[in-house]
Amino acid sequence: MSSLNLDDFTDLIERPDGGVRRDAEARRERQVVPPGALGRLDDLGEWLAAAQSAVPVRAVERPRVVLFAGDHGVASLGVSARPAGSADELVRAVLDGATPVSVLARRLGVPVRVVDMALDCEPESLPDEVVQHRVRRGSGRIDVEDALTLEEAEAAFLAGVAVADEEADSGTDLVVLGDVSVGGTTAAAVLIAALCGTDASVVTGRGGRAIDDLAWMRKCAAVRDALRRARPVLGDQLQLLAAVGGADLAAITGFLLQSAARKTPVILDGVVSAACALVGQRVAFRAPDWWLAGQTSGEPAQAKAFDRMALEPLLDHGVTVGEGAGALLALPLVQAAAALAAELPESPESSEDPESSEDPEKE
């Protein structure tokens, strides 16, 4: 039995500062551009101010991309367009700067961190800073066996907590979160179907590299069989991650919850981070207030998870490549919202009679 008590996060996680958000809204009403004219950028600036407890909002100057990596045994069923056990090739491509997220991060000046949790390769083949948190080599085939032992799930979850602490302590002021996995979207679909009470066909998508109809049918069957194994442990989120998640998903869940506890905003990417966020919401209901949905990936399970958490994606560009690329595209939007909220001057009328804009009922 695990000694880790996830219920502690319910007390540790507070909502972003509501009073500061109201101050940010009042400041926005006094600026030269009419409220509402900037659309969702207004909401983003006010959300960020509340997350920072700062008015005017501070610029996002030290963002970081954090990618958790792992292989999933269920990929051996042919549910992915990539061969089972090949996620290490994707990781090497990220480290070599040869993937979309690498190119975008280089262009935006954002560092990328990769955390190996369960890659199916020798740890000596990757840099020490990548493999230092690894829990095991590959995760189990969730349609017939647990992805992890309970002890491994706890270790992976705590590794995610440790990474969140490392980022917060180093001054990271916003995280773009993603995954590098083969078979990860299948595990994510199972988690979301289990937590939303839906059938396999409703949540099963075609993955980052679209699979054909036969592979989709195999994926549906795997999700269906894993769902049968998930339902008996729905009341215990760590046990759920052990049964049908994986080391990377358990780590992402721990990372998300600890980031919320440390008041570090996070932009979610694809269906894997959405599934882990949904698990995190079950643990601590305030936690989603610290997260933004970066983009719509087209995965039906992602849309269902975001809807359950009342998170509206910032972008819909059809980016399915994964690895945090879609969420990273949303980062300049968040930075633009912060700049506009902080730097737009107040109108002369508000300077002459500030109470009129702050409290219309006094007129």
Residue 32, domain CATH: 1.10.1610
Does 72 share its domain with 172? yes
Q: How many residues does the chain have?
A: 363
Half-sphere exposure of 300 (CA within 13 A, CB side): 14
> CA torsion 10→13→19→23, rounded to 10°?
-140
Residue 107 lies in a domain: yes
Residue 154 lies in a domain: yes
Does 141 share its domain with 98? yes
Q: Which residues span the domain enclosing 27?
A: 13-58+340-362
Residue 268 lies in a domain: yes
pLDDT tens for each residue of 96-108:
999 999 999 999 9
Q: Taking the model in full, what pTM does it have?
A: 0.93
Rounded percentage of the chain residues whose pLDDT exceeds 70: 95
Active site positions, annotated? 323
Does 29 share its domain with 147? no
Does 244 share its domain with 139? yes
Residue 4 lies in a domain: no
Give the pair of three-digit tokens for residue 266: 């996070």
pLDDT tens for each residue of 332-355:
999 999 999 999 998 877 655 544
Report the alpha-carbon distance of residue 333 to residue 293 in Å, rounded: 12
Listed as own residue / partner, the contacts of 7-10 with beta carbons closer than 8 Å and 24 or more positions apart are 7/283, 9/257, 9/260, 9/261, 9/283, 9/284, 9/287, 10/283, 10/284, 10/285, 10/286
Does 143 share its domain with 49? no
The number of domains in the chain is 2
Give the pair of three-digit tokens for residue 250: 């358990």
Residue-level pLDDT at 268: 97
Does 142 share its domain with 229? yes
Please say if the pLDDT value at position 356 is more than 50.
no
Residue 194 lies in a domain: yes
Residue-level pLDDT at 2: 63
* CATH number of the domain residue 244 falls in: 3.40.50.10210
Residue-level pLDDT at 176: 98
Report the alpha-carbon distance of residue 231 to residue 194 in Å, rounded: 6
Does 306 share its domain with 324? yes
Residue 226 lies in a domain: yes
Does 264 share its domain with 321? yes
Does 329 share its domain with 346? no
Residue 5 lies in a domain: no
Residue-level pLDDT at 209: 66
For residue 293, give the H/E element and its range. Answer: strand 291-293
